Structure 1
Amino acid sequence: MKVKKVVAISLILCMMISLAGCANPIHMVKGLFEDEEQSASNIVESGDDAQKDEGLRNTVLYYKDDKGFLIPVMRKIPWTQGRGIAKEALRAMIDNPANRKDIEEIGLIPTIPANTEIRGMNICEGLCKVDFSSDFLNYFSKEEETALVKAVTYTLTEFPTIDRVQVMIDGKVPNNLEYGTKTAQALSRDNINYVSAKKSDNKVVVYYEGTTNGLESYFVPVTKGIEKNDQASTNVLDALDALVEGPPEGRGLYSEIPKGTRVVSVDMNESVACINLSEEILEVTDNEAAAQSVAKSFGLTVKEQNPLIAGVKLLVNGKELKLGKENKEDPVVVPTFANQYE
């Protein structure tokens, strides 16, 4: 069957090349398969054949914890023939008994209100238009509204073919939602879990830890505003300085990085970030779990600035730290996903 499809497409492509003139024949072929209800699976499913054979795909979904923070969690979403994987991702975030039970072990909460239906989805040139039923609006505060919109935006923009999201309700684009969130224009990733007291034009995303009811800990992406005396854009050192400051008090976040730790310098060596720190960091070197947690916080934060970073080394006075009792000297691998739950 697959051979027949390939032959048929090849014949069509050859015919179009002879007829197209200056037109791009690939775009013409693409047009044959696109319709108004084009699903994300038609665009992103070309990546991992092994996962497709298993009927599952690694997908990052954004849930809430009991403090209102959005938490990215990698889930394996069923790959259903004829149904878009992006739609399936959103359906897994709807508040219903099945989804609540599915994630109860990590103490997180679905972000999309109960009974919400996904009426349609269209993806074109990076823009995803997603049409929800009116149940999408069943929330009761500005904080819930903000978390809902960001959860949808961040989940959909995890797909490589989506960078903007247009929210629609019953086929229409609302100018504003009930508590003032502007939705007339397409939304992009911005200000996830903003914790600074004041708004700032200069912002960085850092990773602290959280836990719900003493269950598993998880990493939380937090946006912090920073002060810069120059006009240069934020860099890795800015982000790490914000990280070692620690989380804001009273927000339920914590960090294993010892208080008073300073970032002396950062050196990017190919795909490894070598982070030179002050001596306070030595407090965690004999605690395997804490040391690995610290390295992961640094790694995830650096990766927000430079996605090519695959590992981190921590140093004091230019000498590499041996993290934990195993005295490992290899770089600590930066995980592909901040949190993984199968």
Structure 2
Amino acid sequence: MKHQHWIRSAALAGVIVLLTTGCSILGTGKKTDIDAPPTTDVDAKTTSASVTVDMSDEITSQMTIFVKDAKGFVTPVSIALPKTVSVAKTTLEYMVDGGPETSLLPAGFQGLLPKGTKVISLNIKDKQATVDFSKEFLTYDVKDERKLLEAITWNLTNFPTVEKVQLRVDGKDLKEMPKGKTPLDTPLARTMGINLEKAEDAEFGQSTPVTLYFLSKNDQDYKYYVPVTRLVKRTENIAQTVVDQLIKGPDLKKGLGAVFNTGTEVKSIKPTEGLITVDFSNKLLGADQKASGDALQSVILSLTENTAYKQVQIKVDGAVKITSTDNQNYSKPVLRPSHINPSKM
């Protein structure tokens, strides 16, 4: 259990914490850090307005990059990128503010890498990506320092070959960020969280991080999921906590939207090898007796983000035959989507 990585990463947000627990897998008794999403060669078995699959075009491929939305959240957006030898390097190049991604992003979104930044090189070895940026990288706005680090780290750890990220500028390792003095003496990892917040009933030193996917929408009605790492009261029952926190909903003052009906209840959460089953009461259903497709996708994204389970089975009162508002098939176990938040541009 790599407690030190989370402790140090949480400190990057400007809080001093001594977190002594990480994420555990429900029912196994084992603990793990917040891992990169499970990867698979099989596309998700269901899609919604905010998920998509690879394009078949010969010269482009659907890829996910991490950028900033109009509310200031670091958010994944899937766009069509040119197929290149170094896909990971290309995704970073499309995260440069004012770069080629500008015309591809939804309204209100922008890259977090400073204008003019060039990716000199990107090397991946032993699960660590070492990125060498040009000197323009250091011209970032200090208020975006943590967001910049989150975007780079979560973008690169989306790839199954990357677990850690080391930053360089003009060939020299960065030991700290020059403006906000964020320490970089050890490689960054997904354990740093993203869009970090603390639950009201949580105490620093007695907390566990869970990453939850809530909904947002821009001025042009583009709907998308935002990952939020919330520090909650210490727990080892991660799967139950994730669903409970999703039902509790987002901090509405931040402009994110709830996905569950008021009064939604969980009857049981049962894990088996590679699969976790969540059984909701019929309060999950709306007046039309349909389950919100947004809520179901939020559950799938959040559970596969925080646990080792690669598939999620959704039930309502023990039944797997569910009619959803997005008209997708949830009667069978569902994999994590290949890509999140496809751009409408």
User: Given the two structures, how large is their TM-score scaled by the length of structure 1?
Assistant: 0.73
Q: What's the CA shift for 1:272?
A: 5.2
> In the alignment, which residue of structure 2 is the partner of 1:294?
295
The structure in which a higher percent of residues are strand is 2
Distance 1:297 1:95 in 2: 28
Q: Which amino acid aligns with 1:100?
A: T
> In the alignment, which residue of structure 1 is the partner of 2:266?
263
Structure 1 gap segments, 5+ residues each: 1-45
Contact kept? 1:62, 1:151, Cα under 8 Å: yes
Q: What's the CA shift for 1:64?
A: 1.0
Contact kept? 1:69, 1:193, Cα under 8 Å: yes
Distance 2:238 2:250 in 1: 19
Structure 2 gap segments, 5+ residues each: 1-40, 44-53
Q: Aligned pair in 2 of structure 1 residues 53, 107: CA closer, same or farther (>3 Å)?
A: closer
1:60 to 57, 64, 72: 64
> In the alignment, which residue of structure 1 is the partner of 2:73?
69
Contact kept? 1:73, 1:341, Cα under 8 Å: yes
Q: Aligned pair in 2 of structure 1 residues 51, 279: CA closer, same or farther (>3 Å)?
A: closer
Q: What's the CA shift for 1:122?
A: 2.2
> In the alignment, which residue of structure 2 is the partner of 1:122?
123
Q: Which amino acid aligns with 1:184?
A: D
Question: For each residue in 1:72-124, what CA deviation from the matched residue of structure 2 results, as whole angstroms up to 9, or x when unmatched?
Answer: 1233322235xx22211111111115421221x35421121100111222221
Alignment of 1:277-288 (within 5 A): 277-282=280-285, 284=286, 286=288
Larger radius of gyration: 1
Q: Aligned pair in 2 of structure 1 residues 309, 162: CA closer, same or farther (>3 Å)?
A: closer
Distance 2:84 2:293 in 1: 37
Contact kept? 2:194, 2:228, Cα under 8 Å: yes
Contact kept? 2:278, 2:312, Cα under 8 Å: no
Alignment of 1:204-219 (within 5 A): 204-219=210-225
Q: Aligned pair in 2 of structure 1 residues 337, 327: CA closer, same or farther (>3 Å)?
A: closer
Q: Does 1:247 align with 2:253?
A: no
Q: Aligned pair in 2 of structure 1 residues 327, 58: CA closer, same or farther (>3 Å)?
A: closer
Distance 1:254 1:112 in 2: 27
Q: Does 1:182 align with 2:194?
A: no
Distance 1:47 1:119 in 2: 33
Count of aligned positions: 286
> In the alignment, which residue of structure 2 is the partner of 1:110?
111
Distance 1:281 1:80 in 2: 44
Alignment of 1:140-159 (within 5 A): 140-142=141-143, 144-159=144-159
Distance 1:65 1:193 in 2: 12
* Percent identity between the two aligned chains: 28
Q: What's the CA shift for 1:171?
A: 1.9
> In the alignment, which residue of structure 1 is the partner of 2:314?
313
Partner of 1:102, secondary structure, is coil
Query: Greater relative contact order: 1 or 2 (C-alpha under 8 angstroms, separation 6 or more)?
Result: 2
Q: Aligned pair in 2 of structure 1 residues 91, 327: CA closer, same or farther (>3 Å)?
A: closer
Q: Does 1:191 align with 2:197?
A: no
Q: What's the CA shift for 1:175?
A: 2.1
Partner of 1:313, secondary structure, is strand
Partner of 1:99, secondary structure, is coil
User: Given the two structures, how large is their TM-score scaled by the length of structure 2?
Assistant: 0.73
Distance 1:164 1:187 in 2: 5
Q: Aligned pair in 2 of structure 1 residues 47, 172: CA closer, same or farther (>3 Å)?
A: farther
